[in-house]
A and B are shown apart, each in its own frame.
Chain A
Amino acid sequence: MSAVQIAPEAPGTPVVVASTGWRLAVRRFRHNTLAVIGLVVIVVIVLFCFVGPFLYPTDQTHTQLSQANLGPSAAHWLGTDAVGHDVLGRLMYGGKVSLMVGIAAGILATVVGTLWGSVAGYVGGWVDAVMMRVVDAGIAIPALFILLVISAITTPGVGGLIVILGFVSWLVPSRLIRAETLTLKNRDYVLTLRAIGGSHARAIGKHLLPNSVSTIVVAATFQVADAILLVAYVSYLGLGVQAPATDWGGMLSAGLTAAYSGRWWLIVPPGLAVILVVCAFNAVGDGLRDAFDVRGR
């Protein structure tokens, strides 16, 4: 879903203007084979998770102990787990949660980080100093520690998980955007606007944000990759969504014991899925960075 939109039509594109610039960026992106493969992988996995269940319907809510622990067969392509859920179906079902939480948390982190970083960079002075010390303090506390503490207190739903993951990962994008804002706010066109009496709002809305779009989009892509990994990570630690719902990390966690009894189909598919998606998002992020780089600002 969002992966498809990222490439050619990021938000805020002035229609008249940069047609050639965007065309150039798209061409650059197409030349990066790895990035194109990454984009294809993302599209395929998204289709697999969201359209797949209609083509390969399975029951993921009721346990069927009679069907438990079966190996791959014609009826269950990837076998079944310890309570009789079809693993291929479960991969789609869990993937929905992983992707949704990962993408939403990544975007949330980028939005919060962008707002925080651009305000700090634009206002400057002591406001900047205070806001950035907050970021430093946040980075100094390991995310894992915060996640473990939260998991000891409460078990969040999907919404809660998004907020928590977004909250622990907005710090790095905020630094990136601040640095970008610092260079942009002293560009001659911003000074010119200020000199003729243009407002701060206009400087930010018309110049700073549109010119940071490339940085923001690239940051968001990497952030989504990180968040998907983080979802797997926290679910594995038991903070994830609760049964019968699941996600790829939860599947890994549930299948851990099976690793010793040779039931590879419980471990390998969700593990591969996580690796594939994360690599794909990183490759796309790399491609976007190269693509945006050519605009000769």
Chain B
Amino acid sequence: MRRRYGRELSVAASIAVLGLVLALLAPGYFSGENLADLFLANMPVLLIALGMNMVILTGQIDISVGSVFAVCGVVAGVLAKAGMPVMLAAAGAVLAGVAMGAINGALVAYVRIPSIVVTLATMVALRDGLRWATQGAWVSDLPAGFQWLGLSQASYPVLIACTAVFFVAATGWGLRNLAGGRAVYATGSNAEAARLAGIDTNATTCSVFVITGALTGIAAVLNSVRFNQIPSNAGLGLEMKVIAAVVVGGTAITGGSGSIAGTVLGVILLGAIGPALTFLGVSAYWEQALQGAIILAAVVVEAIRERAERRGAVRA
């Protein structure tokens, strides 16, 4: 909600610097094939981060998205194998995501259990429940129409790109222009003031978890149709990638401030940096360490800026 886009600009600048280094040292990075691969690999992170951004904006967190992602993928595969048309199977998977998001949201908003506890519990329960249900086996022998959603391998990335653009635009526009978006910022910034202003803060909190569940379901479906098997252990560590992207994108972990543009830039920066190392001839083992360093740098810069702002406010 800030008028200043300082954070977005500094993330964009980091991406530009990275791009420049790559253009000079490893122009092969910008081959269409590599970029398309990168995009497809990071699409789940992007879609889920759009929802996670809202969850964090309301002052909550959802660490169960990796498990939800795995469950939704398996649900899609199982439904398709049971003979459902592929679109219906996809819808079923998204619905499963919505249901799991609703459970998280209801427990946080109405039973008032801290979101870190609720989603830690659902993360473990869903992950182990899935392992038990599938006995660790992957879903294979998928029907022919399942892969690429029945589209050709060439047109599929176009569909993904359209989907991603649609959801980025929709969430970005909604947060800025819908009353519900305003409620998200107000709830995260000062829940008591929002309640006194007549905003249903419980419904707001619950909804952002449901939206995140739905986006996770969509991401899972779009990801699982890329392969001819669906792993029952998909999405391990996905929640950390998503939360990191949102935080690097400038959304305050305490809620109330941040933007979709920042989140998209955060996903791009963290997604681009790993493969870039390989292209630059640096050992891929450095990827995690470098990502960690970026996250740390982002929050430290934020903390320093906030302190400076507070001091400025006192003087004013």
| A and B physically associate | no
Q: Tell me the B residues contacting A by CB distance below 8 Å.
A: none
Q: Tell me the A residues contacting B by CB distance below 8 Å.
A: none
